[in-house]
């Protein structure tokens, strides 16, 4: 299968060979090799490995229990690469529609395609028809080969346009159908199959422990549990107690999800719930280091302090990866709001970012920001995700 390529650059500043008009974009691996170190990130992604059953999956997660969650509109290849370089054991695709695969949508397949530096990925599928899940699992196995680490089935999404079709968290209302979906994926995937669920569908009616047992009986090798009811969407606070109750209910690994916004929370959720792993979503916004920092916290060590120069370098590296993987550069506007959060005059710089359209414009903004920080002597570091400052 042909690897997607980045778009050709338009006219822009000539600072840096990748910005020269008419020059081909570097490959993602070249971007990481050249620019990840300045952001305090390694340029090489450590493979997750392949498990044949729940026991082997638990062993893999024991080596590094921190995972990058599937996030709609966020978890593209560039984002996954930044998270993996930041220490995530594995990164998930955003939700991939089995119906979209069935009807031959190239755009759907693009969501699940790993670019060259990604040694392996987890693909999350959603839908409601077992036959379409079976077809999608077979297609993933054929197209991704050894780069497919696992298939996850979304039984957690609370969005009405998904649930009204009987998909996402609506599957928790029908354990028998959900079990058939798990078995359909297992028939064809050639890798372990996991599920992601919510505490329940409706506030006050907890389904997760019993539902998790049914999915384990169907063959699921792990269960990720988000500690909110579907009716809560993302409001209120996630209840980690339900994660503990699912841990008690099943023998397969349990992955905690919900309100894991800091390295401290990522380490704490494991100790408080007994979960095997933790899935980080919004906590990774502008903070690819959260995964390695969480491992430091878990080991009783203080994570490194990042200065503003590293924050800006990470933003520029991420923007370059967007271009190198052929993603739409408008995504860099959201990245800017995340990476620049808490920075001196952040609102000014975010406003500037909202007016950028091309890679060249985003890189010019990053250069200007670096110069402004240096000129102002802004050398204080920040423990990203905590707001805690350090005079590094």
Instruction: Tell me which residues are annotated as active site.
Output: 157
HEC string of the chain equals CCCCCCCCCCCCCCCCHHHCCCCCCCCHHHHHHHHCHHHCCCCCCCCCCCCCCHHHHHHHHHHCCEEECCCCCCCCHHHHHHHHHCCCCCEECCCEEHHHHHCCCHHHHHCCCCCCCCCCEEEEEECCCHHHHHHHHHHHHHHHHHHEEEEEEEECCCCHHHHCCCCHHHHHHCHHHHHHHHHHHHHHHCCEEEEEEEEECCCCCCCHHHHHHHHHHHCCCCEEEEEEEHHHCCCCCCCCHHHHHHHHHCCCCEEEECCCCCHHHHHHHHHHHCCCEEEECHHHCCCCCHHHHHHHHHCCCCCCCEEHHHHHHHHHHHHHHHHHCCCCCCHHHHHHHHHCCCCCCHHHHHHHHHCCCCHHHHHHHHHHHHHHHHHHCCCCEEECCCCEEECC
- For residue 299, CA distances in Å to 39, 90, 271, 275, 277 come to 23, 19, 12, 16, 15
Instruction: Give first-to-last CA distance, the chain, whole Å.
Output: 47
Residues forming beta bridges with residue 20, ordered by sequence position: none
Strands 306-307 and 381-383, sheet pairing? antiparallel
């Amino acid at each position: 299968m042909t690897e997607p390529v980045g778009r050709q650059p338009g006219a822009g500043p000539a600072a840096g060979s990748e910005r020269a008009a008419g020059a081909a974009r570097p490959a993602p691996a070249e971007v990481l090799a050249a620019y990840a170190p300045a952001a305090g990130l390694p340029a090489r992604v450590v493979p997750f490995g392949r498990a044949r059953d729940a026991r082997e999956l638990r062993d893999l997660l024991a080596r590094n229990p921190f995972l990058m969650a599937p996030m709609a509109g966020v978890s593209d290849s560039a984002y996954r690469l930044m998270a993996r370089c930041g220490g995530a054991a594995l990164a998930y695709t955003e939700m991939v529609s089995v119906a979209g695969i069935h009807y031959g949508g190239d755009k759907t397949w693009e969501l699940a395609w790993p670019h060259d530096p990604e040694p392996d990925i987890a693909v999350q599928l959603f839908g409601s028809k077992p036959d379409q899940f079976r077809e999608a699992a077979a297609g993933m196995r054929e197209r991704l080969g050894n780069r497919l680490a696992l298939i996850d089935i979304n039984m957690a999404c609370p969005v009405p346009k998904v649930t009204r079709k009987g998909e996402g968290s609506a599957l928790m209302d029908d354990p028998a159908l959900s079990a058939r979906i798990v078995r359909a994926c297992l028939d064809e995937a050639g890798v372990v199959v996991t599920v992601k669920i919510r505490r329940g569908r409706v506030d006050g009616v907890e389904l997760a422990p019993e539902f998790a047992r049914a999915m384990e009986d169907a063959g699921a090798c792990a269960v990720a549990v988000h500690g909110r009811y579907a009716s809560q969407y993302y409001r209120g606070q996630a209840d980690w107690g339900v994660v503990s109750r699912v841990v008690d209910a099943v023998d397969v690994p349990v992955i905690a999800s919900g309100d894991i916004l800091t390295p401290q929370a990522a380490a704490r959720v494991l100790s408080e719930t007994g979960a095997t792993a933790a899935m980080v979503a919004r906590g990774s916004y502008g903070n690819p280091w959260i995964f390695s920092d969480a491992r430091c916290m878990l080991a009783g060590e203080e994570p490194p302090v990042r200065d503003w120069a590293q924050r800006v370098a990470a933003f520029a590296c991420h923007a370059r990866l967007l271009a190198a993987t052929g993603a739409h550069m408008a995504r860099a506007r959201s990245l800017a709001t995340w990476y620049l959060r808490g920075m001196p005059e952040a609102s000014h710089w975010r406003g500037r970012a909202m007016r950028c359209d091309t890679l060249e414009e985003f890189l010019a903004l990053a250069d200007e920001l670096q110069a402004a920080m240096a000129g102002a002597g802004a050398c204080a570091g920040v423990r990203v995700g905590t707001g805690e400052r350090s005079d590094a």
